[in-house]
């Protein structure tokens, strides 16, 4: 892959990531009352001057709901991404660097968590606990720890036999410092960012899916990209705007985040070479 | 020791490991049940459940005992396929009778989607060969499109395509072959085909497969031992195929959980009577035994597939066994 292509991809996906982050930050400060937004004179308007993405079946502005819909996944997504990355990195580093029972214990636990079917387990948790999106995000984070740990463990194992790491050991640096700074911080950052974008994308997916299904996600009239897509059920053949816009937003956001993480990691690899 | 004996020992060890994992995973599920706030029995039974049913549930899930012995009792029952009786979804019927046929359809759907995806990915990789700049005009947008969650793809399919084609086929007098096992929708195979296509197109599955297959294939083609085979004038196809089995298998096993997650919602969107649909309906109606039974089945499937790929890997690659695997 050419360098310029890589850069174009990075700019494109970076724009998507930046835009979503921007929307997520400003959304809480925009006042919005779903009941107030209903306007029966403006049902199912096509996109135009007053409403850039048109209006839905109750005359509510789609663009506004799209903006407020980011609240449903933004903070939980960031939280889960941070949690999963930190714990994944730690578990990966420990199992890659330590030996004996510690390594065995961590590996076993990771394998155990990895056998749980993610979405099915989340639905099970929802049935039992009727949880908030934050708890769901926490569960998602835990479910993602093994895959992150595996990636990091491979890297740590590969680095552990490198001469310069051995030199650090010979210098008498503490293992904790070597692991946290020299290996995780200096060598694994792009990998960790990539994994973090995965987790963020997954939380978006889960939130949207649960809201689409309607029982455990965001309930109408509060907006979520998922319950906006769910409007498709009532609008078959009438108007596509109210659900197509959020559907495109979901696809672009997830693709943007995944591509950004991937390209960042690849750019780093090419730099190393 | 002979190779066969070593293989058998390796297989047994893996099977024991898989069983251990199953015990561990069911324990996680059981602990999740026990972590319900307040009285667990109220959390897991639907509103207005008569007291005698509640008492039976208490006993079935071992809620009247401490978590550990309760788990053992529940596990012993579950291992023999007894997950109690359905409460709401299909009242009074044993959970296994409700769940197994639906789950079978889910397995068939996801397995055939995975196989189709694999074949398509291999064909595309063979066709496109080395990555080039011009191809990126095709693969770039495709990458974005297939990163869509499968249920978004499903919604689009249902909206635009499914109805047209279904009407066309059903009114065109299409009769599925008699061996086709999906009874509920036999008047139309189409939703299943579309659900399968959705699974292939969604969740980045196809592009993921395609990228890794192409990378492996190209790496193999340029490998030195293939050059040596060529130099000797032998055919390379067999050597390439044998060495592709391993990465394909691990890729297959690694992606099954993704497909099993996607299939849940895809079935729901297409209203196919599979395990995912039953799971979501049962969750909605708070039919707890059904939800738990299905969760265990999904988990067991993932473990079983991992075990199977491990064993096949040992069969294909002698190194796996030689080092005491």
Residues A79 and A187 in one domain: yes
Distance from A201 to chain B by nearest Cα, in Å?
10
What does B158-181 look like in DSSP terms, one character per residue?
IIIIIHHHHHHHHHTT----TT--
Residues A109 and A177 in one domain: yes
Residues A204/A69, Cβ–Cβ less than 8 Å = no
Q: What's the confidence (pLDDT) of residue B186?
A: 44
Residues A136/A76, Cβ–Cβ less than 8 Å = yes
Residues A56/A116, Cβ–Cβ less than 8 Å = no
Mean pLDDT for all residues in chain B: 79
Q: What's the confidence (pLDDT) of residue B227?
A: 85
Tell me, what DSSP letter sits at residue A219? P
| Structural tokens at position B250 | 């691990």
**SS3 of residue A87 by DSSP:** helix
Average confidence (pLDDT) over B1-10: 80
What beta strand segments (E) does B24-133 contain? none
Domain hosting residue B119, numbered range = 3-322
Is B308 an 8 Å CB contact of chain A? Answer: no
Q: How confident is the model at residue A75 (pLDDT cuts 50, 70, 90)?
A: very high
- Last-in-domain residue among A141, A164, A196: A196
Query: ipTM surpassing 0.90, yes or no?
Result: no
Residues B54/B48, Cβ–Cβ less than 8 Å = no
Cβ-Cβ contacts under 8 Å, A212 against chain B: 151, 155, 265
Residues A223 and A247 in one domain: yes
What does B192-227 look like in DSSP terms, one character per residue?
HHHHHHHHHHSTTHHHHHHHHHHHHHHHHHT-HHHH
Cβ-Cβ contacts under 8 Å, B28 against chain A: 112-113, 116
The total of structural domains in chain A comes to 2
Residues A48 and A151 in one domain: no
The total of structural domains in chain B comes to 1
Residues A99 and A151 in one domain: yes
C-alpha distances in Å from residue B150, one per residue of B146, B174, B199: 9, 27, 6
Residues A150/A110, Cβ–Cβ less than 8 Å = yes
> Would you say the pTM of this structure is higher than 0.95?
no
Q: How many residues does chain A have?
A: 273
| Structural tokens at position A120 | 């099915």
Tell me, what DSSP letter sits at residue B126? H
- Judge whether A192 lies within some domain: yes
- Judge whether A18 lies within some domain: no
A46 phi/psi in degrees, rounded to 5:
-75, 160
A127 with B291: Cβ contact below 8 A? yes
Q: What's the confidence (pLDDT) of residue A86?
A: 93
The interface residues of chain A toward chain B in range 88-147, judged by CB-CB distance below 8 A, are: 108, 111-113, 115-121, 123-129
Q: What's the confidence (pLDDT) of residue B171?
A: 54
| Structural tokens at position B166 | 């279904």
Decide if pLDDT at B2 tops 60.
yes
Residues A141 and A178 in one domain: yes
A61 phi/psi in degrees, rounded to 5:
-70, 120
Domain hosting residue A56, numbered range = 24-74+216-272
Residues A80 and A191 in one domain: yes
Q: What is the pLDDT of residues A176-219, one digit of tens each?
A: 888 788 788 878 888 898 899 989 988 998 888 888 887 787 87
B136 with A205: Cβ contact below 8 A? no
pLDDT > 90: percent of chain B: 4
A112 with B21: Cβ contact below 8 A? yes
What CA–CA distance (Å, rounded) separates B281 from B288?
Answer: 11
Residues A130 and A161 in one domain: yes
What CA–CA distance (Å, rounded) separates B109 from A272?
Answer: 43
Is B128 an 8 Å CB contact of chain A? Answer: no
- Judge whether A12 lies within some domain: no
Is B296 an 8 Å CB contact of chain A? Answer: no
Residues A180 and A129 in one domain: yes
- Judge whether A170 lies within some domain: yes
Q: What is the pLDDT of residues A142-184, one digit of tens each?
A: 999 998 999 889 888 888 777 787 788 788 788 788 878 878 8
Q: How confident is the model at residue A227 (pLDDT cuts 50, 70, 90)?
A: confident
Average confidence (pLDDT) over A89-100: 86
């Amino acid at each position: 892959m050419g360098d310029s292509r890589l850069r174009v991809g990075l700019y494109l996906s970076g724009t998507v990531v930046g835009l979503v982050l921007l929307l997520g930050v400003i959304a809480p400060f925009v006042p919005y009352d779903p009941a107030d937004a209903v306007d029966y004179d403006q049902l199912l308007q096509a996109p135009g001057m007053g409403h850039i993405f048109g209006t839905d079946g109750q005359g509510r502005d789609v663009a506004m709901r799209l903006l407020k819909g980011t609240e449903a996944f933004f903070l939980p997504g960031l939280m889960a991404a941070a949690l999963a990355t930190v714990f994944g990195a730690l578990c990966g580093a420990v199992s890659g660097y330590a030996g004996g029972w510690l390594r065995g214990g961590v590996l076993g636990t990771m394998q155990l968590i990895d056998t749980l079917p993610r979405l099915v387990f989340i639905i099970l948790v929802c049935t039992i606990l009727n949880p908030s999106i934050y708890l769901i995000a926490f569960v998602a984070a835990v479910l993602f720890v093994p895959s992150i740990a595996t990636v990091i463990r491979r890297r740590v194992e590969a680095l552990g036999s490198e001469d310069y790491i051995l030199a650090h050991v010979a210098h008498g640096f503490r293992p904790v410092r070597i692991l946290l700074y020299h290996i995780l911080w200096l060598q694994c950052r792009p990998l960790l960012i990539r994994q973090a974008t995965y987790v963020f994308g997954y939380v978006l997916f889960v939130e949207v899916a649960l809201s689409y299904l309607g029982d455990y996600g965001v309930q109408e009239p509060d907006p979520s990209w998922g319950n906006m897509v769910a409007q498709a059920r009532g609008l078959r053949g009438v108007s596509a705007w109210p659900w197509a816009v959020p559907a495109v937003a979901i696809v672009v956001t997830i693709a943007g985040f995944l591509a950004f993480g991937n390209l960042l990691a690849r750019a780093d690899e090419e730099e190393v070479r | 020791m002979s190779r066969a004996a070593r293989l058998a020992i390796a297989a047994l060890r893996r099977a024991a490991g898989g069983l251990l994992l199953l015990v561990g995973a069911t324990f996680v599920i059981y602990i999740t049940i026990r972590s319900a706030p307040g009285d667990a029995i109220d959390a897991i039974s639907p509103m207005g459940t008569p007291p005698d049913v509640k008492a039976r549930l208490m006993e079935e899930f071992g809620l009247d005992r401490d978590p550990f012995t309760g788990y053992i009792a529940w596990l012993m029952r579950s291992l023999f396929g007894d997950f109690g009786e359905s409460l709401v979804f299909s009242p009074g019927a044993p959970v296994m009778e409700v769940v197994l046929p639906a789950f079978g359809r889910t397995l068939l759907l996801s397995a055939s989607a995975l196989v189709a995806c694999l074949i398509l990915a291999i064909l595309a990789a063979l066709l496109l060969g080395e990555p080039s700049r011009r191809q990126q005009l095709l693969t770039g947008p495709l990458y974005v499109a297939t990163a869509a969650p499968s249920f978004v793809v499903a919604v689009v399919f249902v909206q635009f395509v499914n109805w047209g084609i279904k009407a066309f086929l059903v009114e065109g007098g299409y009769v599925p072959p008699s061996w086709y096992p999906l009874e509920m929708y036999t008047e139309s195979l189409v939703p299943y085909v579309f659900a399968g296509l959705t699974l292939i197109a969604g969740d980045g599955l196809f592009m993921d497969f395609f990228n890794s297959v192409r990378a492996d294939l190209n790496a193999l083609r340029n490998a030195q031992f293939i050059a040596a085979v060529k130099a000797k004038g032998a055919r390379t196809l067999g050597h390439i195929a044998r060495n592709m089995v391993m990465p394909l298998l691990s890729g297959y096993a690694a992606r099954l959980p993704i497909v099993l997650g996607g299939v849940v919602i895809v079935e729901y969107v297409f209203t196919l009577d599979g395990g995912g649909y039953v799971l979501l309906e049962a969750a909605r109606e708070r039919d707890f035994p059904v939800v738990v039974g299905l969760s265990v089945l999904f988990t067991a499937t993932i473990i079983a597939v991992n075990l199977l790929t491990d064993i096949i890997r040992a069969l294909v690659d002698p190194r796996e066994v030689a080092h005491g695997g």
